[in-house]
Amino acid sequence: MTELLQQVRIIDPVSEIDELFDVLIADGYIQAVASHITEINSDTQIRDCQGLVLGPGLVDLYSHSGEPGFEERETLLSLLQAAAAGGFTRVSILPDTSPVIDNPALVAQLQQKRRKEVREKEKINLAPPASPLPLLHLWGAITLNIAGKQMTELADLASAGVVGFSDGKPLENLALLRGVLEYVQPLGKRVAFWPSDRQLVANGVIREGPDALRFGLPPIPASAETTAIAAMLELVAAIGTPVHIMRVSTSRSVELIASAKAAGLPITASTTWMHLLLDTKAVKSYNTSLHLDPPLGNPSDVVALRAGVRAGVIDAIAIDHTPYSYEEKVQAFAEAPPGAIGFELALPLLWQYLVETEEFTALELWRALSSSPAECLGQKVSAIQAHQAAELTLFDPQQIWKVERKSLYTLSQNTPWLGQQLKGHVVQTWC
């Protein structure tokens, strides 16, 4: 099918463009981009795109899959459908499945499963109309069974095609961490760590501060994150291996990362979309979907994280989609497992609260959700121009929809926005 998108607002962080154009797409490629395109075939589908936004496909840095092992939370198909519905064309899954992605056989099995789902989708059209399933990338576990004790066969996992290495959970053994940094250097793969001192975290569930006292919940000091980041930065400075720092959530962490980057250390960093939108005050509802790890920050943390993203100190916004069943989340706040879904909600909410308020430019937000996370993975995103593959997201910032079971592709419903109306919805993706 050949499609002509007329007068669509192109937001392209690769070319630094935010302008209105006509875009002609055919056979999976962008055929032309111009102010006005008039020479088209008679069978071309013409779409009036005034008010719509076209940008590079969104890239997910890390998220959690229920399959294999916890299919009642999320299957691979429902995860990929949810990602497509949210505008994502690349998805990267952490290894904390059951069994853990710590061997080449499971890497091959999951990639084969994705190919099977694509074939089935083509037969019965389960994905959103005209939206293909995203590319699937897998993080290989750093340690066996992500237990933090013994390194996996990292070279074998690299050969199997993992996008990089991460346990997705804190690796507190600094001697092992140093060994990992030395071992992965020649493999040419990214390595991502979540710095968190679990002894300092203890049984905490909310960021230490006035709201923790007000709500009567056990606190987590900011130093649980910052001391772990400081130790990691010392190892990176000594060994020189590039590292990605996951789940940055405090203002002091932003300062440490800024100083390290200024000193030339080879690091990138990300925060999650919910840490940019909400702070500890939201926890007054005791909604267990607000129980996150790391926890939501104090208001000053949110201000610093937003400034860090805009300045490029925090390179990317991660989704960290973490599905749980209804039964798992219906507990006391401190007892419920931490995490929330996000694929279908992140872009609309970030656009509504950051772009429409003019705190972020559209380019700044789209960069942090597309080209920057791709760079953190060692990948590239193509500019929106003729002869490039069509890996695109079409977004309607004004479309109103309600977050409810029938409107979501993900199987899980653990989100604080359940039942609410949102403004902004993805119209289509090309992959």
Q: Which residues are catalytic?
A: 320
Structure tokens given for 117: 């789902």
Single-letter residue type at 9:
R
Q: Scanning the structure block, which residue is given the tokens 């706040």? A: 333
In terms of Cβ atoms closer than 10 Å to its own Cβ (0-12, 13-18, 19+), residue 39 is exposed
Cβ contacts of 332 within 8 Å, gap of 6 or more: none
Between the alpha carbon of residue 213 and those of residues 250, 294, 300, 301, the distances in Å are 18, 18, 17, 17
DSSP label of 354 = I
Residue 11 is inside which H or E element, if any?
strand 2-12
* Interior angle at CA 334, CA 95 and CA 244, nearest 5: 35
Distance, in Å, from the CA atom of 220 to the CA atom of 233, rounded to the nearest integer, reads: 21
* Interior angle at CA 161, CA 158 and CA 165, nearest 5: 50
The answer to whether 249 and 305 are in contact (CB under 8 A) is yes
Single-letter residue type at 94:
L
Q: What is the CA radius of gyration of the chain?
A: 21
In terms of Cβ atoms closer than 10 Å to its own Cβ (0-12, 13-18, 19+), residue 124 is exposed
Cis peptide before 373 (omega within 30 of 0): no
Distance, in Å, from the CA atom of 312 to the CA atom of 267, rounded to the nearest integer, reads: 12
What is the per-residue DSSP string for 381-401? ---S-TTSB--EEEEEEEEEE
- Within 10 Å of residue 243's Cβ, how many Cβ atoms? 26
